[in-house]
Structure 1
Amino acid sequence: MRLKLTVGLLCLATFGYAQRNGVDKFQQYRPIWEKGTLAQKDSLAAVLMSEAKTYQTEPEYRTTINLMYALGHEDKKAVLETIAKKKFPKGSLTRDAFITEVYYKAETAADKEKSYKELVKRWPVEKFKGEELTYDYALGTLAQSFAKAGDAKKATDYLGQMQERFWRGNGYLPTAQALLAAGDTTAAAPLLKTAMDDAYYYISLPEEQKDNKARFAAMGYASSMSSYVGILVNRGKYTEALDYIEKALAVAPEQADALSSVYYKSLMGTGRKLEAYNILTKLYAKGQFNVEGDLKKLYQDLNGTMAGYERFNAGLKEELVKTVRDHIKEMETYKAAPAFELLNLKGEKVSLASLKGKVVVLDFWATWCQPCVRSFPGMQAAQTLYENDDDVQFLFINTWERDKDYKNNVTAFIAKNNYPFEVLYDDQKDAVTGEVLAAKFGVKGIPAKFIIDKDGQIRYALTGSSSNVDYIKLEMKELIEAAKKPHKG
């Protein structure tokens, strides 16, 4: 099909982006949806809309729908979704829409169960080979709902219907943690052990057999192991707990930090006090100040006195500060921050220009981003530290939201958690590039934080975050105080 292309899109052929057999279309057009101008994106969207008239299969529609999302053409994405769902009423697009718009929005466990039964009746899992994980996700949230409702039996029964073994290392965990939160260790323990054992299976595979599924399964290992071993520790089964931990560290030494808390408690319980003390000092020196009670106890036991403890403690804190300062050097940069003017929760305009003369902390986040959410108590502590400093401003930039009703969701989230944050919506697209602010800052993953100095220069940029409140508070203090000082260019 011959289509008339605008000048902006003609460069596709020049740079070798023209469609080729065997090349994934989404990746083929990456240079345009990632770095193209608004004119190029609009031209490509127009071409794809015309091309869509020839589509015969649902996968063709799905790829182009994803492309429209990447190009920022939500209107055309919606049009194609409507056409595809009408054309394939029993296809995966209508199924996914049902899951998003009906199933996941069901509030009670009973309503969610009713929706799940409708889901598998209208779109039986056996008709979607290779997409079992979609149903496993749904089963995981259904089981978690029943766990929170106090129905451990139904929670366990639904988890048992999961088909993807690699997913169980992560999929079982939220339900087990919900049961633990309710004090039901009897029901939680076997779920955690299953998750732990499945993850261990993938971790211990020969390196040449480890694919993406195996690597993903391994991600849940430390959490399920810590929770399960935590149960053993609370039951006084220290020797059994140690066996599991040391077995884990033998095949996955990189999990040492994540297992430190249960490891030192197990060592204490079996009388291996010096080893426990060594782990505790490292934890404390990394900002885990909540372990100080046990640290003091072991210091007393090993030294026979508390003499010298305060000097020892101060030394650990100095070590932590040095570690943080060395770490933030890796985040150093010096470039002008992109200008912006965004709306806050009240509908008021907030611009970077209006904050000149202040150190500005930007935190890009989304309601669905768990690492973002886990870092918020620490960010709140950091903001509180500077609440009387008129030269520092924290801005929480809400970006990449997936729900059409994102503004209400964001407002509800902030209100529910009583966060005193200045939240801005990152939904203003650049007139030339079509990019939102996150793209202008080069954000590839969230949470992403930027520390901007009083002259509007980005001094530090970091991606990811700890959930350790004390560490975040200290890290942000070091970043902010460094940004207050003149740049040594």
Structure 2
Amino acid sequence: MKTTNCLFALALTALCFSCKETPKDTGANIGSLYISDATPSPGETLNLAYSTDVNKEDFSAFYYYTVGSSAYPVDLDVTKTDSLYKASIVIPDSATALAFNFKLKKDFDSNNKNGYIIPLTTTSGDTIAGALASIGTYKLRLAPSYGVEVDKKEAFNLMKADLFAHEDLQEKWDGIFPRTFMSEEKAEAEKYITNRIAAYRSKSSLTEKEYRNLNSLYQINGNKEKIDSLQLVMVEKFPKGLIVQQQAWSEFYKEQDYSKKKELFNDFNQKFGNKSRIRNIMATRLASEAIQNGNKEEYTSIMAQVTDKAMLPNAYNSIAWNYAEKGENLEFAAEISKKSLDLVKASINDTKDKPVYNTVSQYKENMVSTYNMYADTYALIKFKQGDIDEAITYQKEAIGKGLDVELNERYIQFLTEGKKYDAILNEASKFIENGNANAKINKYYKEAFVQKNGSEDGFTEKLEALEKVGYDKLVAKTKEEMINKKAKNFTLKNTNGEVVELAALKGKTVILDFWATWCGPCKASFPGMQVAVDKYKDNENVVFLFVDTMESGDYDTRSKLAGDFVKNNNYSFEVIVDNPVEEGSRAYQVASNFEVTGIPTKVIIGPDGNIKFVSVGYSGNSDKLVKELSLKIDLLNS
């Protein structure tokens, strides 16, 4: 018989289990998921059944198993019987908890925002030491991506209770828990960190990992003197350790003279060997400089020394794309671009280099996306070499599902150059009616229409009909994406020192654009955002606020950085400056409140004060950005 212990009971409200004896052969229902054992253990085979009417082509599933503070994703191999998707897994012996994720069409089933998260137990029924700390970490780091609503304090308390109950685990968590502790309960955390430092100091000798943990603890409590002295000790005790390698990388990175840089690389090779990731990064950087100096042979020689083959495709493509855009060294560009394609294609069916943070299917999907991106490079090179048919062949691969307007435009451009008018009429019409076209694609489409029909008669009506289909699809898609989540109030200063409070804007549609001056995609999106700002500048019910966040420095520094950037680029943006959760923290108040983990992120708040839309990233197309943003604003104001 398995029984739950008191520590397990701490997590019951979040995990939907009851604190009572559960026979080993008795399963449990958690939302739409049935598991064959309510309190599973490592090494056990667990049978799953998930109930949904969603078709198999619209369904995918995977799970994470946690080991300490790390989480490893694994695909679920499901079979469908009626409305049940079934799978079996063998729980890894090292696992401490499980978290299942089921994607239905475009969205994850969040189980009423609780998720499908299960702690593992020993064969005697006790919750495994560290299981709840694992769950707390998973919730803070990963769960929000799958629609789970996370109470940060509750997740922290899971970590704290578990690690205080099992002091022998604390060292394994020194890389993550003390910093989280400090952000939640500073006074108590300072005492805890002092005790952890004393525990390391009491040891007769420390490993390099233990020294790094100690260094991290000193960083958290801001003891610069101790950090500096510890760095010297680590360099002396571990002359081939990570700290020394990082120092060598810093020296290499700062060096401007190519010959000296080459000497530093060779020194690194002799001291640390050729397997280090830092060494391989050095090699790709050095090779890039060699080719910039026009030394093809040296570039080829250095690239041949890269032992991490996963680095090669991106390194090749970066150089090839640079030449493709300039129309220079096209023969050499085609050679290395094709190498990048061949390497990526090989990796799609060979997952031995899969990173631990991807499932096999996620890795393959990422590799296909990467292949498409690099095929775009090769196609452009072939186009500039005059090989139109080859350019068309590879650009057709590059467009994938046709979601990237820029890639679509190049495909139609190549078809136009090759006078493939039937293909243009077919392909361009698909892009237009799916909302993935722009003015240039429309122009190429018109040219093909005239070539096939002898005149423009009927073209305007045809284009309007296609665009109407595209608009209707976009409206339907946008309505599906609409949410209704309470927005937390905030009060921040803008770059003029004026106070801006969100609550005072209730009744208006508010667009929050989270950005930073160091963020390339953020800045790339700003010309499009300026168009949107100009479009609604006379509408008093629409307010744009550009939230500068994740920016280094004190308030005055951050405010000046953001203000100067906007002013120097002639943007008419109102910028408000986010504040760290506390001094020195890497977490920022408003970004944290709105669960912003990456930028650019746009949050649109409706007149009722609730969050209606959240979008992350920038597609690279200003027209598409303005069109999608305008539709969301207009829907909320209609």
Partners of 2:600 and 2:442 lie apart in 1 by 29
Check whether the contact 1:176–1:189 (CA below 8 A) recurs between aligned residues. yes
The aligned counterpart of 2:48 is none
The structure 2 residue matched to 1:239, chosen from 386, 389, 401, is 389
2:304 maps to 1:175:
no
Check whether the contact 2:513–2:547 (CA below 8 A) recurs between aligned residues. yes
Partners of 1:58 and 1:479 lie apart in 2 by 53
Which whole-Å deviations, capped at 9, do the CAs of 1:288-318 have from their partners, x for residues lacking one? Answer: 3332221111111233321122222222332
The aligned counterpart of 1:429 is 581
2:445 maps to 1:295:
yes
Partners of 1:45 and 1:436 lie apart in 2 by 24
Return closer, same or farther for 1:309/1:406 CA change in 2, 3 Å cut-off.
same
SS at match of 1:172: helix
The aligned counterpart of 1:195 is 340
Check whether the contact 1:169–1:217 (CA below 8 A) recurs between aligned residues. no
Post-superposition shift, 1:342?
3.0
2:603 maps to 1:450:
yes
State which drifts further: 45-54 or 356-365.
Answer: 45-54
Return closer, same or farther for 1:88/1:14 CA change in 2, 3 Å cut-off.
closer
Partners of 1:321 and 1:391 lie apart in 2 by 24
Return closer, same or farther for 1:313/1:436 CA change in 2, 3 Å cut-off.
same
Partners of 2:335 and 2:369 lie apart in 1 by 19
The aligned counterpart of 1:395 is 545
Q: Which amino acid aligns with 2:538?
A: N
Check whether the contact 2:284–2:315 (CA below 8 A) recurs between aligned residues. yes
2:619 maps to 1:466:
yes
Q: Which has the higher contact order (CA 8 A, sep 6+)?
A: 1
Q: Which amino acid aligns with 2:542?
A: V
2:451 maps to 1:312:
no
Return closer, same or farther for 1:360/1:10 CA change in 2, 3 Å cut-off.
closer
The aligned counterpart of 1:382 is 532
Q: Which amino acid aligns with 2:445?
A: L
Q: Which amino acid aligns with 1:425?
A: V
2:235 maps to 1:85:
no
The structure 1 residue matched to 2:424, chosen from 269, 272, 276, is 276
SS at match of 1:424: strand
User: TM-score, normalising length from structure 2?
Assistant: 0.61
Q: Which amino acid aligns with 1:297?
A: E
Partners of 2:243 and 2:568 lie apart in 1 by 32
**What runs of 5+ residues in structure 1 fail to find an aligned partner?**
1-7
Post-superposition shift, 1:443?
1.7
SS at match of 2:422: helix
Q: Which amino acid aligns with 1:199?
A: V
State which drifts further: 364-373 or 46-55.
Answer: 46-55
The aligned counterpart of 1:165 is 309
Partners of 1:336 and 1:448 lie apart in 2 by 17
The structure 2 residue matched to 1:211, chosen from 354, 357, 362, is 354
Partners of 1:291 and 1:68 lie apart in 2 by 57
Q: Which amino acid aligns with 2:232?
A: K
SS at match of 2:603: strand
SS at match of 1:393: strand
**What runs of 5+ residues in structure 2 fail to find an aligned partner?**
1-154, 357-362
Q: Which amino acid aligns with 1:377?
A: P
Q: Which amino acid aligns with 1:472?
A: L
Percent identical: 24
Post-superposition shift, 1:127?
1.4
Q: Which amino acid aligns with 1:211?
A: K
Check whether the contact 2:269–2:279 (CA below 8 A) recurs between aligned residues. no
Partners of 2:260 and 2:614 lie apart in 1 by 43
Which whole-Å deviations, capped at 9, do the CAs of 1:232-268 have from their partners, x for residues lacking one? Answer: 123331232344456x58xxx9565455444444444
State which drifts further: 237-246 or 291-300.
Answer: 237-246
Post-superposition shift, 1:330?
3.8
Check whether the contact 1:357–1:454 (CA below 8 A) recurs between aligned residues. yes
Post-superposition shift, 1:35?
8.9
Q: Which amino acid aligns with 2:634?
A: E
The aligned counterpart of 1:5 is none
Which whole-Å deviations, capped at 9, do the CAs of 1:51-109 have from their partners, x for residues lacking one? Answer: 4535723333445666888xxx4735x56653442222354335436646x65566xxx
Return closer, same or farther for 1:169/1:51 CA change in 2, 3 Å cut-off.
farther
Check whether the contact 2:258–2:289 (CA below 8 A) recurs between aligned residues. no
Aligned residues: 460
Check whether the contact 1:222–1:255 (CA below 8 A) recurs between aligned residues. no
Partners of 1:68 and 1:389 lie apart in 2 by 52
Q: Which amino acid aligns with 1:293?
A: K
Which whole-Å deviations, capped at 9, do the CAs of 1:102-139 have from their partners, x for residues lacking one? Answer: 65566xxxx1636744653664476166532x344445
The aligned counterpart of 1:75 is 222
State which drifts further: 387-396 or 35-44.
Answer: 35-44
Q: Which amino acid aligns with 2:161?
A: T
Asked which structure has the greater CA Rg, the reply is 2
Higher helix share: 1
Q: Which amino acid aligns with 1:400?
A: M
2:349 maps to 1:229:
no
Q: Which amino acid aligns with 2:576?
A: L
Q: Which amino acid aligns with 1:483?
A: L
Post-superposition shift, 1:449?
1.2
Post-superposition shift, 1:451?
0.8
State which drifts further: 213-222 or 459-468.
Answer: 213-222
Partners of 1:271 and 1:300 lie apart in 2 by 12
Partners of 1:407 and 1:99 lie apart in 2 by 32
Return closer, same or farther for 1:167/1:372 CA change in 2, 3 Å cut-off.
farther
Partners of 1:350 and 1:145 lie apart in 2 by 47
Check whether the contact 1:451–1:460 (CA below 8 A) recurs between aligned residues. yes
Return closer, same or farther for 1:209/1:150 CA change in 2, 3 Å cut-off.
closer
Check whether the contact 2:175–2:216 (CA below 8 A) recurs between aligned residues. no
State which drifts further: 399-408 or 434-443.
Answer: 399-408
SS at match of 1:333: coil
Which whole-Å deviations, capped at 9, do the CAs of 1:266-300 have from their partners, x for residues lacking one? Answer: 44455543233222223333243332221111111
CA RMSD of aligned residues (A): 4.2
Return closer, same or farther for 1:228/1:167 CA change in 2, 3 Å cut-off.
same
SS at match of 2:222: helix
Partners of 1:146 and 1:480 lie apart in 2 by 50
Higher strand share: 2
Post-superposition shift, 1:332?
2.0
Return closer, same or farther for 1:240/1:333 CA change in 2, 3 Å cut-off.
closer
Partners of 2:222 and 2:183 lie apart in 1 by 21
The aligned counterpart of 2:161 is 14
